[in-house]
Amino acid sequence: MSDIHPVDPAFAAQARVRKGDYERMYAQSIQDPEGFWKEMSERLDWIVPPTKIKDVSFDPNNLHIRWYEDGQLNVSANCLDRHLDRHGDKTAIIFEGDDPGESRSITYRELHAEVCKFANTLKNLGVTKGDRVVIYLPMIPEAAVAMLACARIGAVHSVVFGGFSPDSLASRIADSGAKLIVTADEGCRGGKKIPLKANVDESLTRPRTNSVETVIVVRRTGGAINLQSPRDRWYHTLMEGQSADCAYEPMNAEDPLFTLYTSGSTGQPKGVLHTSGGYLVYTSLTHELTFDLREDDVYWCTADVGWITGHSYVVYGPLANAATVVMFDGVPNYPDFSRFWQVVDKHKVTLFYTAPTAIRALMREGDAPVKKTSRKSLRLLGTVGEPINPEAWNWYYRVVGEERCPIVDTWWQTETGGFLITPLPGATDLKPGSATLPFFGIVPAIVDAEGRRQEGACSGNLVITDSWPGQMRTVYGDHQRFIDTYFKTYPGNYFTGDGARRDEDGYYWITGRVDDVINVSGHRIGTAEVESALVAHPKVAEAAVVGCPHDIKGQGIYAFVTLVAGEMGSDELVRELIAGVRKEIGPIAAPDHLQWAPGLPKTRSGKIMRRILRKIAENQPDQLGDVSTLADPGVVKNLVEERLIK
Ligand code: PRX
């Protein structure tokens, strides 16, 4: 029996959605999706309100996903202009730098002016509707400004996380055909400098990046950089004298808003494309109801804008709701392990949203760094990115929230745009480790390997049976890949790539990825990408990468490497190979363990049996299952004996 935390009656009394409301609204959303989503669309300001609400088919032979297709709106106008009358002087962004001495606040009116000026800057540089713009910035307000300025003029942004290497950046530039890049001289995290501009320079020496005409550089640290004229321009110089008026572009609801690259089972990361109307309806609604947002809340989501959480729940959802958002450019342990809670106290944060990996890392330091802060302002906590183990959940609940704050464990994906399975804090009893129940309009199902739908309490693969407005629309430049990846495995359904269990109360428990994706600290790493970075080394013949348990990161990366004949493994070569992965992809993809494999377990047709490698990496050598179908069952014995986690 799992632990149950019933909804706190005092919380529920004030909440936007209460028990009973949830059941009623959920039933309505499923019985009459058109009516429900029409009503929900009215939360936005439309230039032309939609009359066609939903036109969807999940049939792989006739796949199409359209929401609000005859509506017109502008996302930046919805996040800014429409708030000016009532909320012009309200704080939109509280910026907190890496250095605890650095913070500033920006009102909605100021943010609007800055976005208009930057939109004019982009226009002057020849950026027009439909052009792609890469944003490679730290967690500074200029990142939100750049995103919203693109949205204002109809340019499609592609934010690349600042921790990605020049090679990863280059492949995203090449795939998107970006005309312009917005970056900073350097980033600064945990007291360390990140050479963002130098990384851009290096990426632009790579093939297929010559679409880039301009690089705009925000001065963040003042560190020395190389400015190449006429390509590279300072942000502050370009902004001088720009008008703070910029008419927004009327956009069709289905016009692209952004692409964001994410890893999958195979090949290069794919550009997940989100459109304008449905995405903003969905992110703003989920943000408001899941966080039970109120007028005077101070909301802090610790995710970087380089990930979907930063898009949907640092920028678009909260700003569409006229929320006050904390943007933090630091890390949880700098200058010390109290930092999160110091920031909570400093800015009187009421809603706090972070990842289980951060909670586990802080939990390891004990209660003292938390307890020396007040945290009285907090009224709700959230988690995202990976399953949260009940131990971490309980610590978060008991020590951080002092048993006063409900925890919303939000399950979703880059592809889903917003939360699909999540508690609503005034309506849903909580069970530590469960993302609980579906959001309005979401019909999850659990299927077995053959696609047969399971009923009642069961476990299997998680699919979603019908569309919701925030769903991705395509893989940028490769619609067939979109169909093949998500709609072919279980025809008629969207396949999430996750496994899940449903309990007797209908609660969902996400068990993790069932494909070749590893979830490291809440970040998706494709095994294929790490393998191709390893085999790029001339001494490597073959590599197979799987996930392994990791106390802090949730999952670590475990690599099995076969060297070319005649080469010998050494500690130095291990370091060299790991350095190669860091360089090729970025530090987040660096293997935690690298084991030499004289041979890899393969079927007679040559397919690597990852199931066996996973068990070895999980230190469960007695659960390898049937190895008799292997071409050479002997290779397993060596791998088991030499395993690195025992
Ligand atoms: O495996 C699930 C896990 O993260 C994956 C999505 O990763 P990404 O697209 O990078 O988006 C992360 C932020 C939404 C999912 O397929 N995941 C995300 N949230 C949870 C989770 N697993 C369990 N519980 C969650 N709350």
Phi, psi of 543 (to 5 degrees): -145, 145
Span from the CA of 309 to the centroid of ligand 1 (angstroms): 10
Residue 535 among known ligand-binding residues: yes
Joined together, the tokens standing for residue 349 give 């944060």
Q: Is the pLDDT of residue 106 over 70?
A: yes
d(CA 142, CA 449): 46
Give, as one character, the DSSP assignment of residue 587.
G
- Written as one letter, the residue type at 615 is K
SS3 641: helix
* In the block, residue with structure tokens 């919380």: 11
Residue 386 among known ligand-binding residues: yes
Contacts of 10 (CB under 8 A, 6+ apart): none
Q: Is the pLDDT of residue 33 over 70?
A: yes
Q: What is the DSSP string of 179-197?
A: SEEEEES-EEETTEEE-HH
Return the best residue to mutate from 159, 407, 510 for the ligand 1 pocket (most ligand atoms within 8 A of CB).
510
Give residue 194's Cα distance to chain centre.
Answer: 21
Span from the CA of 121 to the centroid of ligand 1 (angstroms): 36
State the DSSP H helix or E strand holding residue 596, giving kind and residue range, or none if neither.
strand 593-596
- DSSP strand pairing (270-275 vs 474-475): antiparallel
Atom of ligand 1 nearest to the CA of 303: 13
d(CA 330, CA 332): 7
- Other C-beta atoms closer than 10 Å to the C-beta of 54 total 21
d(CA 106, CA 114): 10
Q: Which residue(s) pair with 354 in the sheet? A: 383
Phi, psi of 15 (to 5 degrees): -80, 160
Give, as one character, the DSSP assignment of residue 458.
E
Residues in the chain: 646
Residue 191 among known ligand-binding residues: yes
Span from the CA of 156 to the centroid of ligand 1 (angstroms): 24
Residue 413 among known ligand-binding residues: yes
Span from the CA of 81 to the centroid of ligand 1 (angstroms): 32
Residue nearest to atom 11 of ligand 1 (CA): 413
C-alpha distances (whole Å) from 405 to each of 354, 371, 384 are: 14, 16, 16
Q: Is the pLDDT of residue 511 over 60?
A: yes
Return the best residue to mutate from 313, 413, 486 for the ligand 1 pocket (most ligand atoms within 8 A of CB).
413
Return the best residue to mutate from 301, 396, 412, 507 for the ligand 1 pocket (most ligand atoms within 8 A of CB).
412
Atom of ligand 1 nearest to the CA of 421: 26
pLDDT given at position 626:
87
Digit-coded pLDDT (tens) for 304-338 = 999 999 999 999 999 999 999 999 999 999 999 99
SS3 637: helix
Digit-coded pLDDT (tens) for 468-486 = 999 999 999 999 999 999 9
pLDDT given at position 468:
98
pLDDT given at position 605:
87
Q: What is the DSSP string of 30-62?
A: HH-HHHHHHHHHTTS--SB--S--EEEE--GGG
Give residue 267's Cα distance to chain centre.
Answer: 19
The end-to-end CA distance of the chain, in Å, is 31
pLDDT given at position 376:
98
d(CA 583, CA 537): 12
Contact of 136 with 160, CB cutoff 8 Å: yes
Span from the CA of 462 to the centroid of ligand 1 (angstroms): 12
SS3 574: helix
- Other C-beta atoms closer than 10 Å to the C-beta of 517 total 22
**The pTM is what?**
0.97
Give, as one character, the DSSP assignment of residue 603.
B
Atom of ligand 1 nearest to the CA of 510: 23
**Mean of per-residue pLDDT scores for the chain:** 97
Give, as one character, the DSSP assignment of residue 414.
G
Residue nearest to atom 5 of ligand 1 (CA): 413
At 1, the pLDDT band (50, 70, 90 cuts) reads low
Digit-coded pLDDT (tens) for 226-237 = 999 999 999 999
d(CA 234, CA 98): 22
C-alpha distances (whole Å) from 87 to each of 95, 96, 254, 317, 319 are: 18, 21, 28, 16, 11
Interval 413-426 mean pLDDT: 98
At 373, the pLDDT band (50, 70, 90 cuts) reads very high
Q: Which residue(s) pair with 17 in the sheet? A: none
C-alpha distances (whole Å) from 21 to each of 63, 65, 440, 631, 646 are: 33, 28, 11, 58, 50
Contact of 258 with 275, CB cutoff 8 Å: no
Residue nearest to atom 24 of ligand 1 (CA): 387
Closest CA relative to residue 439, chosen from 414, 417, 410, 463: 410
Residue nearest to atom 15 of ligand 1 (CA): 413
304: region left, alpha or beta (phi > 0 left; psi from -120 to 50 alpha): beta
R_g over Cα of the chain: 24
C-alpha distances (whole Å) from 113 to each of 88, 181, 202, 203, 239 are: 11, 21, 33, 32, 11
pLDDT given at position 633:
87
Query: Which residues have any ligand 1 atom within 6 Å of their CB?
Result: 262, 308-309, 384-387, 409-414, 435, 496-498, 510, 512-513, 519, 524
Span from the CA of 496 to the centroid of ligand 1 (angstroms): 10
- Written as one letter, the residue type at 283 is T
Digit-coded pLDDT (tens) for 266-318 = 888 999 999 999 999 999 999 999 999 999 999 999 999 999 999 999 999 99
Residue 409 among known ligand-binding residues: yes
pLDDT given at position 628:
86
Residue nearest to atom 8 of ligand 1 (CA): 413
Closest CA relative to residue 452, chosen from 492, 423, 425, 404: 492
Within 13 Å of residue 214, how many CA atoms lie on the same side as its CB?
18
d(CA 232, CA 155): 20
Residue nearest to atom 13 of ligand 1 (CA): 385
Task: Please state whether the peptide bond connecting residue 318 to the residue before it is cis, i.e. omega within 30 degrees of 0.
Answer: no
d(CA 197, CA 206): 15
Residue 179 among known ligand-binding residues: no
C-alpha distances (whole Å) from 316 to each of 87, 257, 323, 631 are: 16, 11, 10, 52
Closest CA relative to residue 212, chosen from 248, 183, 236: 183
Residue nearest to atom 12 of ligand 1 (CA): 385
Residue nearest to atom 6 of ligand 1 (CA): 413
Span from the CA of 570 to the centroid of ligand 1 (angstroms): 36
At 265, the pLDDT band (50, 70, 90 cuts) reads confident
Span from the CA of 521 to the centroid of ligand 1 (angstroms): 10
Closest CA relative to residue 411, chosen from 520, 524, 498: 498
Task: Please state whether the peptide bond connecting residue 387 to the residue before it is cis, i.e. omega within 30 degrees of 0.
Answer: no
Within 97-140, residue ranges assigned H as helices are 108-124
Residue nearest to atom 3 of ligand 1 (CA): 386
d(CA 226, CA 200): 11
Return the best residue to mutate from 494, 524, 553 for the ligand 1 pocket (most ligand atoms within 8 A of CB).
524
Joined together, the tokens standing for residue 304 give 């970087």
Residue 582 among known ligand-binding residues: yes
Digit-coded pLDDT (tens) for 617-635 = 999 999 998 888 898 889 9
Residue nearest to atom 21 of ligand 1 (CA): 386
Span from the CA of 233 to the centroid of ligand 1 (angstroms): 37
Atom of ligand 1 nearest to the CA of 435: 26
Atom of ligand 1 nearest to the CA of 309: 13
d(CA 326, CA 477): 34
Angle ∠(150,140,270) on CA atoms, nearest 5:
55
Joined together, the tokens standing for residue 556 give 């670590």
Span from the CA of 422 to the centroid of ligand 1 (angstroms): 12
Joined together, the tokens standing for residue 300 give 């802090």
- Other C-beta atoms closer than 10 Å to the C-beta of 100 total 15
- Written as one letter, the residue type at 154 is G
